[in-house]
Amino acid sequence: MFSPLLEFDKQQAIRYETNFLIGIDEAGRGPLAGPVVACACFIPPAVVQHFNDVNDSKKLTEAKREEIFKRLTSPGNGIIYGVGFATALEIDHLNILQATFLAMRRAAQKFLHMPDSCVLIDGPYPAQGLQMSQHPVIDGDAKSLAIAAASIIAKVTRDRYMSVLEKLYPGYGFGGHKGYGTAKHLQALRELGPCREHRRTFGPVRKLLPPEGSLL
């Protein structure tokens, strides 16, 4: 099956003269709670044809994301990937853009010494502080197979983490909205106040902080 995303990556590998094309993407920049999660992913040319159904995580159903995630992360398939988190506290301390770069650097750690590697990053900016050859690709998760694979791993990893937070902080509905500012989430915020996983520098949360800034 023809994959425009795979063809894009083949052209980028030729353009940048690399056999190790790594995709990086993140999940969770917009939510009011929880971490931002990044993934760096390399799919060897020998197995890439088995992942022609990989696409931008936002275009896939939850069930399809889970199915592809399991295949991408299955031991022994040759795929190399790393995942990095930046916590809500780090987001508040650094700002969301710099925290995203931090998560990306953490995700890419195992690739730092890979010779002749090249990184494609989703978005308009290179990741500050990442000491690798890198090229930003706007809408990269809809263009590049490597970036799309990274987007799926990052998204599913974060969704699962938010389901854990649902149990640790009951009442907020983290397992459903994943920290995004839905009506249900905002109502829970008004009733319960922010918890330690909320991003205090984000407007809807900041408005509800008690004067002393303490958290539940």
Residue 209 reports pLDDT greater than 90: no
Residue 195 lies in a domain: no
Handedness of CA 18, 49, 1, 24 (dihedral sign): negative
- Kindly tell me the burial class for residue 89, based on how many C-beta atoms sit within 10 Å of its own C-beta (0-12, 13-18, 19 or more): middle
Mean model confidence pLDDT for the chain: 93
The pLDDT of residue 168 is: 97
Residue 48 lies in a domain: yes
The strand pairing partners of 118, in sequence order, are: 21
Residue 205 lies in a domain: no
Quick one: average pLDDT of 20-29? 98
Whole-model pTM: value is 0.94
Residue 41 reports pLDDT greater than 50: yes
Residue 97 lies in a domain: yes
The tokens describing 185, both together, are 């989430």
Residue 208 lies in a domain: no
Alpha helices in the chain (DSSP H): 4-15, 62-72, 88-94, 96-107, 145-168, 174-177, 183-192, 203-206
Residue 204 reports pLDDT greater than 90: yes
Residue 213 lies in a domain: no
The tokens describing 109, both together, are 């750690």
Quick one: average pLDDT of 15-23? 95
Residue 178 lies in a domain: no
Per the listing, tokens 């790594």 go with 22
CA atoms within a 13 Å half-sphere pointing along the CA-CB vector of 151: 23
Residue 141 reports pLDDT greater than 50: yes
Domain that holds residue 52: 4-169
Quick one: average pLDDT of 169-184? 97
Number of domains in the chain: 1
Pairing of strands 117-122, 20-27: parallel
The pLDDT of residue 52 is: 83
- Kindly tell me the burial class for residue 29, based on how many C-beta atoms sit within 10 Å of its own C-beta (0-12, 13-18, 19 or more): middle
Q: Report which DSSP code applies to 112.
A: T
Per the listing, tokens 């900041």 go with 206
Show Cβ contacts of residue 3 under 8 Å, excluding neighbours closer than 6 positions: 52, 54, 145
The pLDDT of residue 3 is: 86
Tens of pLDDT, residues 83-129: 999 999 999 999 999 999 999 999 999 998 888 899 999 999 999 99
Q: Give the CATH number of the domain where residue 157 resides.
A: 3.30.420.10
